Structures are given as structure tokens and as C-alpha cells.
Amino acid sequence: MKPIQDQTILITGATDGIGKLAALRLADQRVQVLIHGRNPEKVTAVVAEAKNSSGNKKIEGLSADFSSLSEVRRLAEEILERHPRLDVLINNAGVGFADERYSRDGHELRFAVNYLAPFLFTHLLLPALKNAAPARIVNVASAGQYPVDFEDIMLEKHFDGIKAYRRSKLSLIMFTFDLAEELKEARITVNAMHPGTYLNTNMVRRAKVTPLGEPDSGAQAEVFLATSPALEGVTGQYFNVRTEARAEAQAYDPQARKQLRELALRLTGLK
């Protein structure tokens, strides 16, 4: 990898919680940080905070609602026009407990934002990542995983928000393992991580769960996976914070991953 101060790192969902703290840490290291969020006003505020606290002027804000696949496409096009080289992509954006049941495209919301959006976004940004190789992709998943039921992928029969979240995060890990195999020759590593259990974030507080830790530990882990020389060449792994761990069994099932990949290609319209 290039020296840290010469890298361009994009982090999604970086206006709150773990993502915001990771972005601030990267700004302190003089990285060119691309900060994404859904709310343009919050993006502007975090960019200003990062610049003021770090003195780093190489901070840029980006806004898009990842519950809309057309907005994902629009943002990817915008990034490719302005940044032909991307050293690291951190897919941090996610939704847990929400009032909405469906995305703007009519898909189950957690499956759409936590899996379909990063699936599409990552594929669209591959040209910039390949231009910068060696490069890294970090997918922020969860230790809370549950097998995907392909007979009820959108949970129309038996909806459960917690189960929907856990399935979406396992789907992201399955995508991680697939993409790691695909990109080995391109010198792009792809890993997934659990940032920590019930950290003190808006998502956890909204779920009315008592926090068990502070979000900065998760932010440190994200930055570690994104930048540490110790992980050079490490790919296709799932980390529990900073330690390699074992994901739910379905993640290692090639047939299940193939079925999920084909579904995602169809739903996102990717070739």
C-alpha cells in the first residue's frame, strides 16, 4: 500500500457513530477522506469538523440515500469522475431498527441498505480500486448473523426486524468471501468485520439496548483493517473486531453464495 498520507479512502455512513469516528481518525492521519452520509447537512457538518480538528483540507463530503439503488449508481458515477483511483473502500453504512419496512425500490429495507447497496456500490467502484491496487475493501458486518432463507428473502411470510438485520449482515459476509476470490489477481483484498457488540451508537440506543462499549473501539478496528501493514495480502476473512474469526456456517456454502449472488445481480441490474 502507498504511504497513508497519499491514500484516498472512502467511508460510507460516516456522519454518526463508528463511521464518523473512523473518518476523524483517518483525517488525523492526513488521508484524503471521502465522507458519505444520507443527510447532506450532516455530511457538511462532519466534513467541517474533520477539517477543523485535524487541519487536513483533503476531506470531501458525499451524500446519497442507500435505500435507493439509483442514488447508489449516481454516487458511484460521481466518485469515478472525480477520483479515478481509490485506495480503500469501507462499506460502513447500515440500518438496524427502522420505522420503514421497505426500501425506495420495494425491497426489505435492511437487505437493501446493508447488502444490495454495498454489493452494487462496490462493483461500480472496482475500476478506481483496480487503478490504485494494491487496494482494500472493508465490509462492516456483525457477529449477529442468521442464515438466509431463499424462500422468503424479503421476509414477507414472517417479518422480524432483528432477523432481517442479522440476515443482511450474513449476506454481506457471503459477498465478502465471493469478492475476495474474484479479486485475488487484481491485488485487492476484501475482508468483513464485526466492530463490537452493542457499542454506544444511535442504532443501539434506538433499539433500547444497554450499550456494552464505546464506539471508538469499533472505529479503531475499522481503521486497522483499512490501513494496517499487518493485514497486507490478507483477504477473504471475517474479523471479530481485530481477530480473525469464524462466520455463520452458511457463509462457507458455495451453493448458497452462488444463489445469493445471482439474486443480487438480478435485483441490482448488474451484468
The residues that are catalytic are 165
Neighbours of 25 (CB within 10 A): 20
- Burial class (CB within 10 angstroms; exposed 0-12, middle 13-18, buried 19+) of 238: buried
Main-chain phi, psi angles of 65, to 5 degrees: -95, 110
Q: How far apart are CA 139 and CA 194, in angstroms?
A: 9
Burial of 259 (0-12, 13-18, 19+ CB in 10 A): middle
Integer Cα distance of 187 and 200 in angstroms: 35
Where would I find the beta strands (DSSP E) of 74-181?
88-91, 135-140
What amino acid occupies position 108? E
Measure the CA angle with vertex 249, ends 248 and 253; round to 5°: 130
